Structure 1
Amino acid sequence: MQTPRRIQGSNAGRSRSHNKRLVLGHIQAKGEMGRAEIARASGLTTQAVSNIIADLEGDGMLVTRGHRSEGRGLPALQYAVNPVGGFALGIEVRPDAILSALLDLEGATRHTGRAALPDTHPATVADLVRQLRDEASRAVPDSEGRILGAGIVMPGPFGPTGLSGLSGTTTDLKGWRNMNARELFQEALDLPVEVENDANAAALAERISGAARGMESYAYLYFGAGLGLGIVSGGQLISGAFGNAGEIGHIPVPSPDGPAPLETLASRAALRTQLDIGADDLDIAALEALFARSDPALTGWMDQAAGALGHAALLIENILDPQTIILGGAMPEALLDGLIARIALPEASISNRPDNPHPRLIRGTCGRLTATMGAAALILNVAFTPQLASVA
């Protein structure tokens, strides 16, 4: 089995920011660590680790957690991430509403908010996002001056593409075609900003506080307006050249009527068509009730979606070689479990191997606000994961 590439520290002074993220990431993943253990894991000298720990303690991002024996000598002082040492703001922009979440450094949700969106003009959106930031700061006084940045989640794909004009592919945000969203939100919030689509953000939410915690390489199939794919490899989100990696919903898969786009068979839109109901009636509670009584139309859609998702899973496995594929998004947990039970994963896959401790397909655990939490997780991921490009 090939060993995944491990990011190492650099003892050069110019890599201080990289090394701080590296050390913080190791401690966050392990829970608590001593200096010698951090040095071994990061490839840094013990002196370099000591200097970085001093910086992180000064920033309020680390706390001590007593001593633990690590072999010969005196028990080593243990360090852990200080939950209130920093916060991440997550913003999800939908066509009709804006959702927010404030997470602490441990990924715990400290506050959530929602604002109805009367129109999608950029100035309107920026003003409401500002209000949600201020509301979160008032609700969590510890976050004052400690918000590390804001993750912004918006519908994709981004920019004009060959998918433009196809059903279900527009962003539904009028006035945003030529808008630089990052600059707009940075100016509105006076914070560092990361902008992603919903599937990518949801994938990171699962890594920070969900089913992918401790994983480095996995895929996330996300039920949003359509069906998206978030890809994490080596702890890094794969966004593509223009931020549109993972538009798997438009890939054709077999169907009884011939090849069809995946999301016409396996998505909330496809389910709405199958049930013949409006978008306003397709909420979580309604789906839970339909599933509980084994509604024939819902069961028929699940059987159809399971076949399509089985083909998609094989494609994902053989191209990306993930530790697992996570299924989640705006669906009831019981329904997702039922889908997973129906999906027949082909044996002829590189992921069908006895030495992988993870199931090939699992359900996400971040719940209904996965994309909103994922927006905040974009910021936490930056704090805990140094970029490979920054390694000398």
Structure 2
Amino acid sequence: MTDASSDRPATEVVALKGSNASGMRAHNERLVLSLVRGEGALAKSDIARMTGLSAQTVSVIMRQLEQDGLLVRGEPVRGRIGQPSVPMSLNPDGAFFLGLKIGRRSADLSLVDFLGRARAMRRKVYRYPTPDTVVAFVREALPEVAAAVSADGRARIGGLGVAMPFQLWSWVEFIGAPQAEMDAWRTRDIQAELAEATGLPVHVQNDATSACRAELVFGTGDRPRDFLYFYFGTFIGGGLVLNGQLHLGRTGNAAGVGPMPVPGPDGRMQRLLSVASMSALADQIEAGGESADILWEKPDHWPFRQEVLSVWIDRAAAGLAWASLSAATLIELEAVLIDGWMPASVRAELARRTHEHYHRLDLAGVGPLAIREGTIGPLARSLGAAAIPLSHRYLIDQNA
């Protein structure tokens, strides 16, 4: 759930325009839910003003959404004159969604409520992912996850979103997996298999794009309308938001930032993922005689030597700074957000050093760019996966 922001420019909401035509009720319901999600609790008069819909149309829509259990009434707010206004907010139990993150080292299955809070989660750690392992995990974990809510809540589960790296078979050299087993991803229809296993509609999306969606739908604080998002997993991925809307690209892999060329520590050009990824950190840790296994198991605490972490953070930050500059010269971005499978303290230091490295570069002719932390953290991919069916059913395309 996003926080309301009193200083948010009015242009951010007026772009969402409704229609009073009777055939557009589904559109208008999505419009109302999108506004309440983005702005916080709103009264009918607020929504009428923001959308241009008539007061009668708004009243009918909100009454229906309340009857469907998607909105709940707040305490009346009395003004100096007229009837008190009644703010309406999202009902956490109004709808639930499943999010499956298929990572290169682990899989998470989460049950997420209408506000984006994880009600239950199960995790499986493996050496590398195969379709059989993932489907078996979902079959086993689904009853346990669904048991976290009542029978009525289980009836309100609206779908399963899947966040996974595309072309998993092409990464065998980086994760040490047998090519023959990883080649199964080429021919298996994981979407159909999971739909059969769960009995739910299934949506599949790139994992880093899904993490960006989690920031867009569930993130807190004031979000820019145009930003590039970096997510640290085993490798690094990204997402791109333009005009407040997630930009997927022609194949769904827009802002796949890992291959972006950046200068390495020796000055030679290399791919961003070579310096800014957890696999690079794991290599440095193991080169120092320590095990890197805890990286994949405990994202909230990394008990490694500070000097190893510091070297990795600095190299990653330098790479992110160059990548941010390249993106900013092509697209007029407002901000870069950095998040990942890492402790909050590491994320904060990574954002701080990226800001420092960025401002050491030649920024002539480049507009101002804010560099800051994301707000979701290690669960961004699984929460973003759950946000896919939520978006399909209840949110509106702001560019429509």
TM-score band w.r.t. shorter chain: 0.7 to 0.9
Distance change (3 Å), C-alpha of 1:349 and 1:307: farther
Whether 2:341 is the aligned partner of 1:289: answer no
Whether 2:345 is the aligned partner of 1:334: answer yes
Distance change (3 Å), C-alpha of 1:382 and 1:324: farther
CA distance in 2 between counterparts of 1:102 and 1:175 reads: 27
Shift of 1:12: 2.4
CA distance in 1 between counterparts of 2:300 and 2:271 reads: 26
Shift of 1:214: 4.9
Secondary structure of 2:279's partner?
helix
TM-score by length of 1: 0.85
Match of 2:380 in 1: 370
Cα displacement string for residues 46-83 of structure 1 (whole angstroms, at most 9, x for unaligned residues)? 22212211221121111111222467421122211111
Structure 1: which amino acid aligns with 2:302?
Answer: E
Distance change (3 Å), C-alpha of 1:97 and 1:252: closer
CA distance in 1 between counterparts of 2:189 and 2:249 reads: 17
CA distance in 2 between counterparts of 1:348 and 1:69 reads: 52
Structure 2: which amino acid aligns with 1:24?
Answer: L
TM-score by length of 2: 0.83
Check whether the contact 2:109–2:123 (CA below 8 A) recurs between aligned residues: yes
Secondary structure of 1:250's partner?
coil
Whether 2:90 is the aligned partner of 1:90: answer no
- In structure 2, runs of 5+ residues without a counterpart are 1-8
Q: Which moved more, 1:338-347 or 1:138-147?
A: 338-347
Shift of 1:30: 2.3
CA distance in 2 between counterparts of 1:312 and 1:45 reads: 46
Match of 2:336 in 1: 325
Mapping for residues 190-269 of structure 1, pairs under 5 Å = 190-211=199-220, 214-255=223-264, 256-269=266-279
- Tell me the matched-pair count: 377
CA distance in 2 between counterparts of 1:210 and 1:349 reads: 31
Shift of 1:22: 0.8
Whether 2:59 is the aligned partner of 1:26: answer no
CA distance in 2 between counterparts of 1:178 and 1:242 reads: 18
Structure 1 runs, 4 residues or longer, greater than 6 Å off? 169-172
Structure 1: which amino acid aligns with 2:293?
Answer: D
Cα displacement string for residues 173-229 of structure 1 (whole angstroms, at most 9, x for unaligned residues)? 441213343333333322232211221111122233334665443221011121111
Whether 2:319 is the aligned partner of 1:308: answer yes
Check whether the contact 1:92–1:154 (CA below 8 A) recurs between aligned residues: yes
CA distance in 2 between counterparts of 1:42 and 1:179 reads: 45
Whether 2:112 is the aligned partner of 1:103: answer yes
Q: Which moved more, 1:200-209 or 1:276-285?
A: 276-285
CA RMSD of aligned residues (A): 3.1
Structure 2: which amino acid aligns with 1:288?
Answer: W
